């Protein structure tokens, strides 16, 4: 491999000649051999860095044109656009397990953009610190990248994925109107419910989750950029913070504003904690929905068997013909991972000391993983399971009319205690509720038929 010699404040460093990163990136690459090639800084964070670096250059150009010249702005914009588009993803090799401020990833971005800018200009035009990092610090750029990437991920990935599944549930509600089945609480038989009502619960849960995510988006729109090292804005021109937030908004197509208190913005990660809580809420609801579906599809002969779901692959290496609810299983595993990520994010956010939180890379990594896998999980569940859910009407009818909890309909006529006696006798002697009620003398057969209508019990 061929190398070129780069230097930083610690001296000279040999850097692979075929890459755009510089000395500080290479030092980090060598010093943190932890999860190399696997647990690298999320590309969502890198792309957000591209947005904020271009936005900073634009703001500096307006406020410090003698430093950020037209020539430099054009070259930096060219390079930053490549970062934003993901064309330089291979130039960002650093792992999550680095400095807790994310300084090395900030410098990785600065070095790559500087070298690409210089190549584009055909001369040594831009310096990583003096030009690409102008009016900034790692301490305000990394939390800014976290917020930008979080807003983009939630708005462009998670919310659309949830809406796709909601649309499927709405379709299933219409298809299954009028089908009444046994409800269940505590995994025990309960009073009747229509299948469309049950599905509406799934749909409404996701709709509420979207509302929670949307409410969590607003605090994320506040950016730390402009606070520089400790929140005072040292070395940033007056008005830089507001102007750069406007530029980020224009470049990303998302609404952002400057954080009112930069001392808070640098050290507290409460906005990310809150937003991830909304992500966790959706994951918890998806866990519930997936469990409902696999319970209802259990069988096919000795389970509940009230619905059928698509058979995507063989389910056993030893039992021929077995098909498992694998899409439900992937959803539940994803939910467990997100719940674990939430714990890590909460712990990391609690560790801010004085003017900085130094757990930001792991917070960013876990947040982006949660949004990414939940979005993809929902889309997979929708496409390979939910759209193919079919009601087993005969099994639902059989289970409904076999349920002892239908006795609840008799409460207004024979009272709770007599209804309980009827249910117990029916269970003990394995007879119908009608037979038990008549045998106990609470109602005649004709009176029973007049008041006992299971399907009507599901009406709201």
Catalytic-residue membership of 370: no
Catalytic-residue membership of 423: no
Listed residue (279, 280, 304, 296) closest to 198, CA to CA: 296
Which residue has tokens 């619905």?
307
**What element of type H or E holds 280?**
helix 270-296
Cβ neighbourhood burial of 243 (10 Å; 0-12, 13-18, 19+): buried
Distance of CA 42 to the CA centre of its chain: 14
Distance of CA 445 to the CA centre of its chain: 56
Q: What does the alpha-carbon distance between residue 310 and residue 388 come to, in Å, rounded to a whole number?
A: 6
Looking at 7, 204, 215, 316, which residue is catalytic?
A: 316
Listed residue (457, 460, 415) closest to 437, CA to CA: 415
- Here the tokens at position 287 are 């866990």
Characterize the bridge pairing of strands 222-223 and 257-258.
parallel
- Here the tokens at position 267 are 């050290």
Q: Which residues contact 445 (CB under 8 A, 6 or more apart)?
A: 434, 438
Q: What does the alpha-carbon distance between residue 42 and residue 348 come to, in Å, rounded to a whole number?
A: 17
Q: What does the alpha-carbon distance between residue 156 and residue 161 come to, in Å, rounded to a whole number?
A: 9
Q: What does the alpha-carbon distance between residue 80 and residue 92 come to, in Å, rounded to a whole number?
A: 13
Q: What does the alpha-carbon distance between residue 108 and residue 91 come to, in Å, rounded to a whole number?
A: 8
Residue 356's DSSP bridge partners are 353
Phi-psi region of 122 (alpha: psi -120 to 50; beta: other; left: phi over 0): left
3-class SS of residue 439: helix
Q: How many CA within 13 A on the CB side of residue 302?
A: 0
Q: Which residues contact 455 (CB under 8 A, 6 or more apart)?
A: 180, 192
Active-site residue set: 186, 316
């Amino acid at each position: 491999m061929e190398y070129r010699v780069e230097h930083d404040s610690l001296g000279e460093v040999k850097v692979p000649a075929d890459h755009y990163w510089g000395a500080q990136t290479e030092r980090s690459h060598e010093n943190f051999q932890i999860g190399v090639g696997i647990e690298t800084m999320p590309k969502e964070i890198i792309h957000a860095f591209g947005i904020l670096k271009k936005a900073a250059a634009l703001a500096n150009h307006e406020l410090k044109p003698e430093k950020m010249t037209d020539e430099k702005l054009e070259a930096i914009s060219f390079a930053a656009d490549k970062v934003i588009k993901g064309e330089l993803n291979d130039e960002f090799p650093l792992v999550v397990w680095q400095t807790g401020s994310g300084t090395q990833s900030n410098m990785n971005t600065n070095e790559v953009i500087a070298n690409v800018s210089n190549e584009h200009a055909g001369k040594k035009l831009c310096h990583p610190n003096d030009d690409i990092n102008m009016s900034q610090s790692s301490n305000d750029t990394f939390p800014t990248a976290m917020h930008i990437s979080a807003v983009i991920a939630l708005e462009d990935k998670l919310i659309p994925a949830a809406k796709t599944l909601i649309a499927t549930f709405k379709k299933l509600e219409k298809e299954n109107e009028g089908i009444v089945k046994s409800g269940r609480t505590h995994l025990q038989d309960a009073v009747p419910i229509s299948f469309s009502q049950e599905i509406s619960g799934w749909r409404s849960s996701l709709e509420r989750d979207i509302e929670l995510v949307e409410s969590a988006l607003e605090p994320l729109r506040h950016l730390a950029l402009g606070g520089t090292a400790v929140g005072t804005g040292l070395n940033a021109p007056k008005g830089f913070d507001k102007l750069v937030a406007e530029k980020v908004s224009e470049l990303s197509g998302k609404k952002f504003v400057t954080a009112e208190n930069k001392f808070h913005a640098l050290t507290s990660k409460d906005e990310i904690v809150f937003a991830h809580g909304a992500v966790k809420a959706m994951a918890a609801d998806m866990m519930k929905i997936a469990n409902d579906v696999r319970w209802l599809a259990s069988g096919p002969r000795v389970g509940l068997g009230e619905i059928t779901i698509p058979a995507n692959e063989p389910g056993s290496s030893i039992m021929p013909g077995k098909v498992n609810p694998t899409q439900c299983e992937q959803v539940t595993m994803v939910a467990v991972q997100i719940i674990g990520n939430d714990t890590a994010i909460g712990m990391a956010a609690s560790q801010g000391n004085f003017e900085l939180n130094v757990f930001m890379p792991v917070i960013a990594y876990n947040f982006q993983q949660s949004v990414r896998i939940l979005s993809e999980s929902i889309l997979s569940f929708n496409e390979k399971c939910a759209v193919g859910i079919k009601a087993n009407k005969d099994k639902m009818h059989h289970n409904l009319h076999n349920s002892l909890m239908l006795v609840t309909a008799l409460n207004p006529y024979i009272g709770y205690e007599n209804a309980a006696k009827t249910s117990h006798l029916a269970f003990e002697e394995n007879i119908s509720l009608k037979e038990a009620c008549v045998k106990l003398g609470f109602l005649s057969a004709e009176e029973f038929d007049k008041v006992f209508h299971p399907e009507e019990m599901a009406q709201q």
